[in-house]
Amino acid sequence: MELLFLAVLCLHILKTEAVVGHWCYQSQKCELPQCEGPAQWHQIYEDCRGDRQSPVNIVTRNVVYEKSLKPLSFEGYDVKGSAKWDMQNNGHTVKVALDASPKIGGGGLERKYKAVEFHFHWGLLTEQQILSPGSEHSIDGEKYPMEFHIVHIREDASDVTEAKKSPDGLAVLAFFVEAGEENKNYETLLSKLKNIESKGGSAKVDPLPLSSLLPPEEDLERYYRYQGSLTTPDCYQGVIWTIFETPVQLSLRQLSQFAALHFDGKNSTPMMENFRPAQPLNGREVLWSGASIALPMAQLLLLGLALTCTLSSLSH
């Protein structure tokens, strides 16, 4: 009996030791109370208490229109690579590693950046199709069910570690995801989620043109830009963020497929609410591309009508 007690005690200590000094999301604290939640990340990674942290709440009345924020150029985004993508449950999110390295440039960026991976952050997505806010960034305090990040590194860097040695090493494109129409372009990816339910699970996915996962090209001209950090430890503060106004649409059925995932083993906490809370701006400016700042046609017609009426009244 004593041996059994000692064995159980040792297992408990081992589990405790395994999570001390390990970062986690707040939604994991119930199962792993010793892990370091977002409020404690800075105790392991100093940068997490820096003054240029992400995500942020974007207050639209405070954004600064910046005319240099022209549409980004997407190189190789419409190309379907030959090598299969590697999709993984890394214990924090669904991460898809990219090989072909599509690139972005222009849009106020001082250099080109190559895509290395993409991943998702979401709220509580149940099989009963109940959604709670899960995006990391918010617009005027409003969050979306999900946010999709494509991580890029400097074109001249060989990997993320090398890119982080520069003050502008990373550029992340962020897309909100909302519940709406069925999105057939995501079916290939979503069908593999059941194969990576547990931490460490991986699956090979037939490659897609990255552009097929984004909103239509004409909707990519309107975006916000600011200087920030990675939203997970080590919270590296050299990230150029581009957050697009137009969200990606997935159906409720498609969104609910993420509910199959777990932070650890199959009986562990379901992977949900894997987002970092909004961080202070600390005086940073959020720039806005204002791509369609010209008045829409309907407003121009109304303006023309108003001018006609005004001129007519003046002539009498």
DSSP string, 70-128: PPEEEESTT---SSPEEEEE-SSSEEEE-SS--EEEETT-SS-EEEEEEEEEE--B-TT
Structure tokens at 172: 């992340």
22 catalytic, yes or no?
A: no
Backbone angles phi, psi at 163, to 5 degrees: -60, -35
C-alpha distances (whole Å) from 26 to each of 76, 230, 283 are: 37, 17, 27
3-state class percentages of the chain: helix first, strand second, coil last, to nearest 5: 25, 25, 45
Catalytic residue among 92, 137, 149, 262: 92
Distance CA 83, CA 98 (A): 9
Structure tokens at 104: 């972005």
CB count within 10 Å of CB 83 equals: 10
Active site residues: 92
